[in-house]
Structure formats: C-alpha cells, structure tokens
Structure 1
Amino acid sequence: MNTPPEDNDFFDICIVGAGMAGATIADYLAAKGVKIALVDREFSEKRRIVGELLQPGAVETLKKMGLEHLLEGFDAQPVYGYALFNNDKNFSISYNQDDSTNYHGVGLHNGRFLQKIREDALSHDSVTQFHGTVSELIEDEKNVVTGIIYKEKHTREIKTIKAKLTITSDGFFSSFRKDLSNNVKTITSFFVGIILKDCTLPFPHHGHVFLSAPTPFICYPISSTESRLLIDFPGEKAPKKDDIAKHIEDNVAPYLPDEFKHCLTQAMAENDYKVMPNHYMPAKPVLKEGAVLLGDALNMRHPITGGGLTAVFNDVYLLSTHLLEMPDFNDPKLIHEKLELYYQDRYHANTNVNIMANALYGVMSNDLLKQGVFEYLRMGGENSGGPITLLAGLNRNPTVLIKHFFSVAFLCIRNLSGKSKMNLSNVFRVMKDAFCIIKPLAINELRPSSFYKKNTQH
C-alpha cells in the first residue's frame, strides 16, 4: 500500500471511487505520469452479479489504451457470440461474420477483474491510495472545485485532498450526482444472479438468451467451471426469497434446456444468489469547473446486453484523451474546455449502447416483438450481422439501430397476416408498442453529433 502524503500535497487529479471507471482511468493516466489520488472506502474484493461480460467493443477499447493484459491471469473466458433459444428452436450468432475470432468478448468475475485493475493502478508511483469516505467537494470563492473532504477509514479523522481536477466515479449510489447532474435514475426491474457450477453450455463460449419464458433470462461463462445465470424479476420492489424461489420454479426452470436443469437445482439448494436493481439513467451533466462525473455516477443502462463496461471504457478513453492533450494541469480554463468536449463526445460514443440496452429489454418483455426479434435474427446475413455489431459495441451508427428496430416491428406485422390477425387494431398496437419503447430512449440519448460519420465506427 502506498503511504498517503500530508494534506497540503497537491494532486493533478483526485478520483473519488476506485470502481471500474475510477480504477481504470487511474491506471491509464498514471502510466502517462499524471499524479493521482485514488480514494475509496473499501479496496477489498467486491462481489457483484453484473459487469461480468465485456462485449468486443469494451475489449477493443482496452486494447487502444494498452490495458488488455488486465484480462489475463484470473480464468476469464473468451465469448465469441450469442445463442438464442425459443421453445424447441435455437441458433447462434458470431461476433465475426467469417470464421475468425478477431472480435471477441470476455466473461469474468467482476470482483477479480476489478482487483486486477486496482493492483495495476496502485503499482504506479504516481498513484496514492486513500482509504476513506468522501463527504464533500471543496470549492473556492469562485465555486471552482479544488479537492475533497473525507473521513479516513482507520483513524476516523477528517482530512482533505487538494487537486486540480476531481473525478467523481462513485457508482450507482453516487453522493455527488445531485451537484454535478440533473438526471434521475429509475429502476426498470431486478436481476437475480445465480452461479451454475460445472454446467456444460449448449454453445460453449457464447452468451445464451432465453426468449420463450414469460420473463427474460440470460447465461454466460464467467470462469472455466462457472456460468452466470441472470434472471429478470419485473417490478420496482426487490423480491423476497420466497418470491425468487417461486419465480424461478414457475418462469425459469420449465424453459431451460436439459443441460441446465441439474445445475440450477444444485445452485438453488445452496441458496446462494444475489439480487440487484437494474437502473436506467440518461446522462444530463451540469458543467462545473474543477469536477467531472464518470461511469455509473453519470449514466446507467439496463445490463441485459452487457453494455455497461463498453460505455465505462469509452468514457475513460475519451476523458483521458482530452486531458492528455493538455501540456499540464495548471490551466483551469483549459481543463474546463476539455471536460465540455468529453461530455459532448460521450453522447455519440455511447448512444447505441444505451438505446440498445433498454430497447432490447423492452422488446424482450413484449411477446409479439420478442418473437419478431427471434425470427429476424434467425434469417442470418445482414439481419443478424447488423444487430450483432450494435450489441458488440462495434458500430456506433444510430441509423443502423433504428433501421433494424423498425424492421423487426414490420416483421411482426407481417406475422400477423400469416396468423390471420392482420387488422388495423393489431397493426396499431405493434407500432405503438415499438414507438413507446424507442421514443423516450431516442429523446434522451440521440444528439445531432451521433450521426457524424467519423463517430459511427469504434
């Protein structure tokens, strides 16, 4: 552990929160010689049930930062695509349209990955570790943030850290969101997370999506012997243990392939599962000199697509790129300009990630649209190739997303014709459902810059 300096030391950057966003940007910038204070109330390994699947877009961003080595050494598993199940039908889609594995995702234990990032960050001499709970941002007479006040974990003393820039990346329950943004988070549902041990997946090294059940659930490998099963529990209130057991018995177990059933029974007998809320929160930052929001403190989306770390690493890379363009951290006005550019750029970097996550959850909660997605993707070719590049975080063009979304809706209308249910009322219902899913997301996430050609590829 690095020894904290005296309070009067001045850092280039103070990072509040050593989670995925905070630890990664500390690691990346410290290697460039930036002097960093990294503050968190707890540096021990966390146990989380999301952030365990990196889409290829996230892996590629780590490569751009020279941090792909962080994925090694803790039994992380390559993921090459997705398999979809609907009643007795199933098929797989690869991230690569040829037989290569150029693009791949990674399934892993979130806590192990985070500890690897933290260890790498703290190995730099320019990073100083602080154990404590941050209570307040310090502002000067011009309302410029100049550091933080925190309570040291072991001594319980109140101390200060001074910095030319404060990055608040304190996650879901950020204490500083109210000061640095106008956004409001909503709970869209809950995920129940279960680990299946020694379960042979029907499609090895693939994410598995189950569409025939009343509520969506997904499964993917997180180590060589473990797979994560995430089960959606609708509603705004966290389920109780009895509710979970009944929900799994009624809405999950009957729809699982035989390969999973013994593993699920064993996992349920161990009674070892976690519940977490699924949040949606569009980014609505308030510019304030000397401070910036990063990661889940700024923006959240439904985790069903595994897009969270794609967005986090995009943010880290964009913010770092702008900051590293400066000769040093001694010009407050220049820092402020770079923060403004970061907030603008991240819209088009993460537009598709955010829309895709919540739109797909909306579609998977609608029986007619869900069936349409399955049939549309099963057609192959561009019908599956286009959507998989969006899901992978490799294509940032929102025009492609909108085109495929409404193509699914029109396929649903055509299916009504085949079932002799084509009438104005049913057609209107399909289009209304599709529009109601996409409209609020488009309003929150789309900006004119989202459509610039230079921004549409990873």
Structure 2
Amino acid sequence: MTQAFDIVVIGAGMVGAALATGLGQDGFKVAVVDRSPAPAFDPDSAPDIRVSALSAGSERYLQGLGAWHPILAMRATPYQRLSVWDETRHPLSHLLPRTLTEVEFDAASLKTSHLGHIVENSVTQQALWQTADAEPSVRVLAGHGVATLEPQPDSITVTLDDGRTLNAQLVIGADGAQSRVRDMAGIGVNRNQYDQQAMVISVRYQGPVEDITWQGFYPTGPRAFLPLHSAGAAHPGESWASLVWYDAPDELARLKGLSDEALMQEIQQAFPSELPQLTHIEARASFPIAHQHAKHYFSGRVVLAGDSAHTINPLAGQGVNLGFQDAQCLQAMLKEARRANVDLADPQWLSQYEHQRRPANRRMMMTMDLFYHLFSNRTPPLHLLRNLGLGAARALPFARNQVARYAMGIDDQLPAVLSRLTDRIPGLRQL
C-alpha cells in the first residue's frame, strides 16, 4: 500500500530533521527517511567527536523550531571570543610580531552575550528528531534507505529498501555529501579536493571551560581549539575540548597510528602555547577536505539542501549553518508555493530557492578558499600580505566586526573587502 505525503525528506541529519520539523509546523504532511536509528544521548558519556560551531543565526532558527531548549538541556558550550593568528615562521616574521597580527573577535564589542555555541552534532540531531516526532503531520521512518525514485507527471514515488512505497509532490535530498538522492536525480557536482586532510581529536584538559575558540595558521594548515563542557565530578578540575589538526594525509596517518600518550605529546609540542595541558585523549578521526557544489539545486521533483547541495572547507565550522539557511529558505519558498496553490515542485519557486542560496553558499565557499590559499603556503609576499591583513583587521575594529557579524549570521552580505578578494581567486567562478 502506498502512503501519501506532501513532501518526503531523505536524510534526517541536522538539516533534514530541521526541514521536516519546520515543514510539519507549516502544516505539510511530511515523511522523513533515514538509514540510522534515532540518536541517543547519555549525559555521562564522553562528547561526540563530531561537533559544530552554531552561529547566532542558527540559534535563532533552532529556537523557532523548538529545538534550542532541548539542546541546552543536553550539552552546548557558548563562546564569547574567537581568535586567529599566523604561526608561520619566516625571515619576514620579525617585521610584524604576532602581538600585532593576532585578531580577536569578542561578543562585548558586538554588544551580544556570545558569538555562538559549540554543540555536538548528535545533540543537535537528537533535539531535532524530538521536535519532528512532536509534529502530528510528520512521520519519521528510521532504519530505512531509498531503493528507487520514480517521477510521474504530478507526483513522485519513493520505494524504500523494505518494499514500502511513498508518494509525494516533492522529494528533498538532505542525505549528505555523498547524496544518493542527488545521483538518482542525475544532478552532477563540481568538486575540488584539497591536498590537506583534517584530524579531529576529542580531549580532556586541565582547567575550567574556556570561553574562547581559536585557530593558529601553519603552512600545513590550521590547528584549532573548540571548547566543550566540564568533565564533571568523575574528572574534577577538567574540561572537554575538540581539537582540529590539518596536515598532509601521510602525516595524519602517522599521528593516528600513535599511542594516546605519544599523540598527546605531539599535540602539546605542535599546537600553540595557548593550548591547555591535556590529560586524556578520548577519540580521533580524520577525513579528506573538499569543496563541492551541485551543478543544480533541483531537477524535476527532487530538490537538494545542506551537504547534498554543497560542502565547504570546514575551516570556520560554517557548513551546518549554511545548511540551516538552505532549510529556512526552502521552507519559505514551499510555503509560498502552497499559498499560490501551485505544485510544490513548480520550477518557479524552486528556481527562486536556488537563486537565493547558490550565491550565498558560493560566497562562503570562496571565503574559506581565500583563507586556504592565503595561509597554506610559505611564499614570502603572501606571508607579508596575510600578516599585514591581520594587522589591519586588528587596527580596524569596524571592519573586523563586519566579518564577525557575517560569520555569526547577523548580516547576510559578505564585507566588501572580502568580496573583492574572493573574486580574484582563480578557478572558483564555475562553482
């Protein structure tokens, strides 16, 4: 027996679950399909190795969905400051000491209580599953994948791996960077693989929860610190953090093969002196880095959102924030299509969604590539240029705050100076 819905969302990660919740709240009949079971949360467990820096804009969106309070009731760590600096040592370094080129963004200068929250992906996902389950018009089908998509003139049929069939006007592909839905719809991608990979390490350190997240830039890539919650009574005086180490694949493979004690020693030697004293390594994982952009955001009765449509260099943790912006925009367009009493797959409305989101996503992709090209080298002129740029940012708080407001999701326009620079990056105009 075929079950009828308005929309089928494939993928119940953070973006897919948010879309299902928002569409359900708008009165759409939604099925959300995911291969994984419902996420679980244990308050006594170590943190998930996958974390995101949720911006103020994402926080507001999650509040509107009813997911923010459950997130705070589980685990979320606010940060008030963000600091970046260049750690590359070069004969030109003496011209501009680090104290003059370190840039710190702080909540006080932006007249806000915090810049964002570091949240485990599983915590955000679980809160959104709870909000989706709470909507009477949303049905979560966990533990199942999609076998086929069969478009008809006025609908599309989704066949699951257990043989069940779902019928809807529209399918939303929110099933990640390796999207099967995107492939089934015949939508290609432009992809650029970076030479670096990133290793994420969950650690405990001696000291209270920090209120700052920072990145030191090295020729091999940045090394970053993201604060998490207190380690609790089981480990008095200690806190959790997530570290990110960018480097060549061979070097990260060597590091992953070390014992916890040896890796801890390497981290303490390789990271900036700002890193607190580590006491324990809980988990480690590495992954390749690429930016990827779908050639189209929709085809027929299939539309893409989040990582299915675009992935970026995770340099500033903006990926999920862009995905949430996709979700808000797509939800608004579908609401307008229903109000106009037209097919939810009407190209007029899906084109407006792509017209709004593609340039915004492209701007952020190019901004991350600007930092990648500018910092991941030892070329003397670029070394001087980036230090002069950081020094200028330190000396010009208005420009610095413009960048911060853009990253936080308060302003949706890229600052003019960054916009001009990204337009000069070779090979990105086709994205």
Whether TM-score is above 0.5 comes out as: yes
Structure 1 residues 353 and 61: alpha-carbon distance in aligned structure 2, compared to 1, 3 A threshold? farther
Q: Which residue of 2 aligns with 1:226?
A: 240
Question: Is 1:382–2:382 an aligned residue pair?
Answer: no
Q: Which residue of 2 aligns with 1:281?
A: 292
Superposed CA RMSD: 3.2
Structure 1 residues 347 and 300: alpha-carbon distance in aligned structure 2, compared to 1, 3 A threshold? same
Q: Following superposition of structure 1 onto structure 2, how do residues 135-150 of structure 1 map, counting pairs within 5 Å? A: 135-140=147-152, 142=153, 146-150=156-160
Contact 2:18–2:65 (Cα < 8 Å) also in 1: no
Q: Which stretch has the larger CA shift, 175-184 or 306-315?
A: 175-184
Structure 1 residues 97 and 363: alpha-carbon distance in aligned structure 2, compared to 1, 3 A threshold? same
Q: Which stretch has the larger CA shift, 292-301 or 320-329?
A: 320-329
More strand by share: 2
Question: Is 1:256–2:271 an aligned residue pair?
Answer: yes
Contact 2:337–2:343 (Cα < 8 Å) also in 1: no
> Normalization by structure 2: what TM-score?
0.81
Structure 1 residues 342 and 49: alpha-carbon distance in aligned structure 2, compared to 1, 3 A threshold? farther
SS in 1 for 2:2: coil
1:128-185 Cα offsets, whole Å, 9 max, x none, are: 1213111221122x4x66131111xxxxx32211111111111021112232522133
Q: Following superposition of structure 1 onto structure 2, how do residues 86-235 of structure 1 map, counting pairs within 5 Å? A: 86=86, 89=99, 90=102, 92-95=104-107, 97-98=109-110, 100-101=111-112, 104-130=115-141, 131-140=143-152, 142=153, 146-151=156-161, 157-178=162-183, 179-188=185-194, 189-200=196-207, 204-212=210-218, 214-224=220-230, 225-235=239-249
Structure 1 residues 173 and 101: alpha-carbon distance in aligned structure 2, compared to 1, 3 A threshold? same
Question: Is 1:297–2:313 an aligned residue pair?
Answer: no
The alpha carbon displacement at 1:288 in A equals: 2.3
The alpha carbon displacement at 1:404 in A equals: 7.3
Instruction: For CA contacts below 8 A with separation 6 or more, give which structure has more relative contact order.
Output: 2
In the alignment, the residues of structure 2 paired with residue 48 and residue 362 of structure 1 have an alpha-carbon distance, to the nearest angstrom, of: 30
* Structure 2, unaligned runs of 5 or more: 41-46, 88-97, 231-238
Q: Aligned letter for 1:216? A: P
Identity of aligned residues (%): 20
Contact 1:186–1:281 (Cα < 8 Å) also in 2: yes
In the alignment, the residues of structure 1 paired with residue 427 and residue 59 of structure 2 have an alpha-carbon distance, to the nearest angstrom, of: 29
Q: Following superposition of structure 1 onto structure 2, how do residues 396-415 of structure 1 map, counting pairs within 5 Å? A: 396-398=412-414, 400-402=416-418, 405=421
The alpha carbon displacement at 1:332 in A equals: 2.5
The alpha carbon displacement at 1:122 in A equals: 1.1
SS in 2 for 1:167: strand
Q: Aligned letter for 1:175? A: R
Q: Which residue of 1 aligns with 2:427?
A: 440
In the alignment, the residues of structure 1 paired with residue 276 and residue 77 of structure 2 have an alpha-carbon distance, to the nearest angstrom, of: 22
Number of residue-to-residue matches in the alignment: 395
SS in 2 for 1:138: strand
Question: Is 1:14–2:30 an aligned residue pair?
Answer: no
* Structure 1, unaligned runs of 5 or more: 1-6, 152-156, 407-433, 446-458
> Normalization by structure 1: what TM-score?
0.76
Structure 1 residues 330 and 149: alpha-carbon distance in aligned structure 2, compared to 1, 3 A threshold? farther
1:193-246 Cα offsets, whole Å, 9 max, x none, are: 111214447x932211112574311111232331110111235x8943556649
In the alignment, the residues of structure 2 paired with residue 439 and residue 36 of structure 1 have an alpha-carbon distance, to the nearest angstrom, of: 42
Q: Which stretch has the larger CA shift, 207-216 or 339-348?
A: 207-216
Q: Which residue of 1 aligns with 2:326?
A: 315
Q: Which residue of 2 aligns with 1:29?
A: 23
Q: Which stretch has the larger CA shift, 11-20 or 82-91?
A: 82-91
In the alignment, the residues of structure 1 paired with residue 418 and residue 179 of structure 2 have an alpha-carbon distance, to the nearest angstrom, of: 32
